[in-house]
A and B are shown apart, each in its own frame.
Chain A
Amino acid sequence: MNTAQFRVVHAGPFVTFQDGGRPGNMRFGVSASGPMDRQSFTTANLAVGNQKTATAIEVSMGGLILECVSGAAVCAVIGGKFEIELDGAKHSSGAMLTVNAGQRLSIRPGESGSWCYLALAGNIDTPTWLGKSATHALSGFGGGMLKAGQKFTLFNAKVFTPRSPAIVPYKTQPFGGYVRVVLGPQDQHFTTDAKRLFLSAEFALTDAYDRMGVRLQGPALTINGSLSMPSEPVLKGSVQVAGDGVPTVLLADHQTTGGYPKIATVLACDLDEFVQLRPRQKFRFHAVQPEDAVVLARLAAIENRSYFDAVRHGE
């Protein structure tokens, strides 16, 4: 079996190992974790012939530089428009590259996007928690954050000629400016004005953005009367509003319960695009009915399936 070894030369904050996540444990206080942008993560894995939930590296705006110490492997780098360099040669997001012993691969934020995925053909060896390598930010359990000086091993490392030098991204259109939500489950706690503002005003992401969630900037959303609600389960995509009226969108490593009202919840099919926005980027919320949201989820599943079939590397 071919083995490759890599050394982390530089890793910014929140650069982590992630697999498909550990759903099913929210009842025990454990969020699913896994990639922020599932679409790009899955694409990267399939393009190098891995299982779609195999362990890959999620690169944040902090960037990553790896050196291949021994062996070689094909890799795919997909997600936001990051700048990729292999031994000084520049590549764009979507690149399929072969990294050989002695070479350096650098992934840094480029013109847009907040997260980028590096999938290596083979099995990255990392610690696991509850059987998964996804890093759980709050506890640090799972594969963990990458740190300068750290080495890791890629078992079953594969080298092959990719079908094309790069993967055509799933979405070729720029972000349309809208993020779709279903109102609730606690929209009744908000004044009529607050609900109208929520759907008409412009919001922007702030720098208070990590794997647990992102605080937004925009008009304050007034909560009706005094608020005391029991802690209840939340989802990735819940738009939770604290007492100061500021909304936060909960993301991959969110706490599993919260005592703040949720004015709305973002559709799963819009989350990947949303998390790629950067602080200060603006957008509006657009409400759809729950039954329409289900139809949109089904359409997205069909589109995903044909896209994934097209990018998958077969033997």
Chain B
Amino acid sequence: MNEPQFKPVADRALLVEFGTVVDDDINRAVIALDHALARSCPVGLLEVIPAMVNLLIIFDPVLTDHRSIQEQVEKLFPLDLSGQENAKHHSVNVCYEEQFGPDLKTVATACDLSVDAVINAHSGPNYRVSMYGFAPGFAYLSGVPCAIQVPRKEAAIRDIAAGSVLIAGPQCLTTTMLMPTGWSIIGRSDVRVMTDDPEHPFLFDIGDTVSFKRISADELKWVAP
């Protein structure tokens, strides 16, 4: 793994960047550094926000500065990329029936596959929780198989229900609230990423793995309007 680049951000943060293009190994390095920072807990560290290729470390400028944080980060190298020891696995139910997956046919046509083949491809692999973004609890799951990767739509569609299962490029996500999206809507899940548990308010930790299990509409535990 290449040495990361460090970029100071204003008076209170440091961006640690492992690369500039989305790549599994780069994201694994980001997650490994996130875990290492959680264990080492440098003085003055307030918040760490991992993303696809970089992570942002927010610090208290009264207690530390960019250089001290960078030195603390450098001490954590080389990172242990094998050890995703804290990672949990989550099996998530998805109903792919037509009323919940309005874009399945379009995806199937674009990929020259049957709808069932798209569903099988989507529910086959283990996905990795790469980052959260866009809206609360929107977890970006990496690992959509090449055979069903489709680009974003030209324009976003408004008011997509909570629980929708979306794909775009190599990413998949399950939504937590009514939102617009330009991603393809392929199913509906009953997972609650926002748990209402004050001790553990978000179901997935970054670095966890997720797989999808095909269910019928009757089996969905809840359906957002």
Contacts and interface: CB of A to CB of B under 8 A. Distances in A.
Interface of A: 23-30, 130-131, 136, 138-139, 141, 181-182, 184-185, 229-233, 235, 237, 255-257, 265-269, 290-291, 293-294, 296-298, 301
Given A27-B50, A294-B65, A233 B11 contact: no
Nearest to A140: B177
8 contacts: A27-B132, A30-B137, A182-B10, A232-B54, A233-B54, A255-B134, A268-B11, A301-B61
B99 to A, nearest CB: 25
A136, A232, A267 interface centre (most CB from chain B within 10 Å): A232
B147 interface: no
Nearest to A264: B10
Contact of A265 (B10, B135, B206): B10
A30 B20 contact: no
A22 to B, nearest CB: 10
Contacts of A136: 136
A291 B66 contact: yes
A304 B34 CA distance: 32
B135 A291 contact: no
B136 to A, nearest CB: 5
B20 A28 contact: no
The 6 lowest CB-CB distance pairs between A and B, nearest first, are: A257-B133, A293-B11, A290-B8, A265-B10, A233-B56, A29-B132
Nearest to A24: B47
B10 A267 contact: yes
Contacts of B177: 139
Contacts of B185: none
B111 to A, nearest CB: 22
Interface in B122-136: 131-136
A298 B53 CA distance: 31
Contacts of B215: none
A237 to B, nearest CB: 6
B157 to A, nearest CB: 17
A28 B15 contact: no
B136 A233 contact: no
Contacts of A257: 49, 51, 131-134
B22 to A, nearest CB: 5
Interface in B150-205: 177, 198, 201-202
B48 interface: yes
B7 interface: yes
B55 interface: yes
Contacts of B81: none
A184 B17 CA distance: 13
Nearest to A266: B10
Given A230-B22, A255-B135, 4 more contacts: A29-B134, A136-B136, A237-B10, A296-B11
A232 B201 contact: no
A23 B135 contact: no
Given A27-B49, A29-B134, A290-B66, A235 B56 contact: yes
Interface in B15-52: 15, 20-22, 46-52
A233 B65 contact: no
B58 interface: yes
Contacts of B131: 231, 257
Contacts of B56: 232-233, 235
Contact of A232 (B10, B53, B65, B134): B53
A292 to B, nearest CB: 9
B47 A232 contact: no
A139 B135 contact: yes
Contacts of B53: 230, 232
Contact of B10 (A28, A141, A268): A268
